[in-house]
Chains A and B, each alone.
Chain A
């Protein structure tokens, strides 16, 4: 499976965010997208997810399902956690599992991110880091080949960051792809870098 971009361009609000972007990510590989604030890291991830329109170029997920948009074969982990405060931790996760097409039971995914003891707690009581982990549980519970991560380690403490790195390694070992926007290291040793910014 390959995620291939040729001459990719993105325009938003009358400004050209990036143009002429070329990259390829294969199964089991990770791509780190770096650059200044405003360089277009988040826009690139949202473009791959299908939330932002591409203005030029080609983007293809070779080896994936041909008639399905890339966004439906990917997990998008953005800045926000998509957690409803009035639902419990387990209810939140179970909803996303059902909505995104099913997968592992919620309990196992909560176990993987270390939130199992809090399963019946209303999500309003969670800290920022715990909400982030709940969001990550979604990626563990529903199997999708491509992970699009926007600053995944923000709000996570060191232990949680190690746990996330482990989850990412497992995903890559299973043939998954990762494209992550980040300012610093996120614990993947052999990841290639795509630096966005003015030439």
Chain B
């Protein structure tokens, strides 16, 4: 009984091996530029240098949500087209998106202490971000507990699509409810309200984080493909033994 391999994984692996070094280089360069600009950006007149946590906090938040978006696209690939590479993408994205969301929550908490006087407050923006982390953990638990990777991927795909309703809630929570968290300053109708000297380092850091995200994603996908190869080989080993002794 032959074992199915991933659809053209060899081509994908070759692609990863070529692209990954460049992506890592771009990440390092952008991080260097971004951090330099961030450190030299003007202090906030109220918060002082503490405001610079923003350069980590905001991109982490964006990427946490982008991670969920990528998982949703992968979910469609899994459920509609049944592409095994979609399974791998979803499984690889989940921990990375969860990590960025976690970084967002932790940096936000550290920022909140000197600024608001508290490590945590249960307002709409923070709560929905925490719920995002819990949803990530739910998806991860589906991947971890499934013995059959295909079933786990399909279950995680459905949960990630259901959880997508949380993303607009996070985005608009600061508008809909009175919250302690700052209101929208960048992605709003009428253009951004942030001064360029602060906006540019922020965007560079965001770009750097994005490159980091995709570098981690490609590496994780490569690992997952190799893991599945090992699993397939073990299945074949058990199979051939069963046929030899039957």
Please give the residue numbers on chain A whose beta carbons come within 8 Å of chain B beta carbons, in ascending order: 11, 13-17, 36, 38, 198
**Residue B138 is within 8 A (CB to CB) of chain A in the complex:** no
**Across the interface, which residues of B come within 8 angstroms of A11, CB to CB?**
4
Mask, B204-246, CB within 8 Å of A = 1, is: 0000000000000000000000001001100100010011001
Separation of A14 and B2 alpha carbons in the complex (Å): 10
Q: Which residues of B contact A14 (CB under 8 A)?
A: 3-4, 148-150, 228, 231-232, 235
16 chain-A/chain-B pairs, Cβ below 8 angstroms:
A11-B4, A13-B148, A13-B150, A14-B3, A14-B149, A14-B150, A14-B228, A14-B232, A14-B235, A15-B1, A15-B3, A15-B4, A15-B239, A16-B1, A16-B4, A17-B1
Most buried by B among A15, A36, A38, A198: A15
Considering the chains assembled together, what is the distance between the CA atoms of A16 and B235 in angstroms?
Answer: 12
A36 to B239 CA separation, bound complex (whole angstroms)? 13
CB-based contact A16/B150 at 8 Å: no
Docked pose: A11 CA to B4 CA in angstroms: 9
| Chief secondary structure at chain A's binding surface | loop
Residue of B nearest to A40 (CB): B1
Report which residue of B1, B232, B246 has the largest number of chain A beta carbons within 10 angstroms of its beta carbon: B1
How far in angstroms is the closest Cβ of chain B from A58? 18
User: How many pairs of residues, A versus B, come closer than 8 Å at their CB atoms?
Assistant: 27
Complex Cα distance, B239 from A17, in Å, reads: 12
Q: Report the interface size for chain B: residues with CB under 8 A from the other chain.
A: 16
Give B contacts to A, CB under 8 Å.
Answer: 1-4, 148-151, 228, 231-232, 235, 239, 242-243, 246
- Which residues of chain A have C-beta atoms less than 8 A from B243's C-beta? 198
With both beta carbons as reference points, the residue of chain B lying nearest to A19 in the complex is identified as: B2
Assess whether A15 is in contact with B235, with CB atoms less than 8 Å apart.
yes
A16 CA to B149 CA, complexed, in Å: 15
**Contact: B1 with A198, CB < 8 Å?**
yes
Per the bound structure, the CA–CA distance linking A198 and B4 in Å amounts to: 16
**A13 CA to B2 CA in the complex, in Å?**
12
CA distance A17 to B2 in the complex (A): 9
A15 to B3, CA, bound (A): 5
Minimum distance in angstroms from A37 CB to a CB of chain B: 9
A residues in contact with B2, CB < 8 Å: 16
Q: How far is the CA of A198 from the CA of B231 in the complex (A)?
A: 22
Q: Which residues of A contact B148 (CB under 8 A)?
A: 13-14
Complex Cα distance A189/B153, Å?
A: 46
Residues of B within 8 A of A36 (CB): 246
Expressed in whole angstroms, the minimum distance between the Cβ of A52 and any Cβ of chain B is 12
Q: Complex formed: what's the CA distance from A38 to B235 in Å?
A: 14
Q: How far is the CA of A14 from the CA of B151 in the complex (A)?
A: 10
Separation of A13 and B231 alpha carbons in the complex (Å):
11
B-chain residues with CB within 8 Å of residue A38 when the two chains form the complex: 242
Instruction: Report Cα–Cα, A14/B148, bound state, in Å.
Output: 8
A150 vs B235: C-alpha distance when bound (angstroms)? 26
Which B residues are in CB contact (< 8 Å) with A15? 1, 3-4, 235, 239
Q: How far is the CA of A68 from the CA of B150 in the complex (A)?
A: 28
Q: Shortest Cβ distance from B55 into chain A, in angstroms?
A: 44
Query: For the complex, what is the distance from the CA of A27 to the CA of B60, rounded to whole Å?
Result: 64
**Complex: A11 Cα to B3 Cα, angstroms:** 9
> How distant is the Cα of A198 from the Cα of B1 in the complex, in angstroms?
7
Known: A15-B1, A16-B4. 18 other contacts (CB 8 A): A11-B4, A13-B151, A14-B3, A14-B4, A14-B148, A14-B149, A14-B228, A14-B231, A14-B232, A14-B235, A15-B3, A15-B4, A15-B235, A15-B239, A16-B3, A17-B1, A36-B246, A198-B1
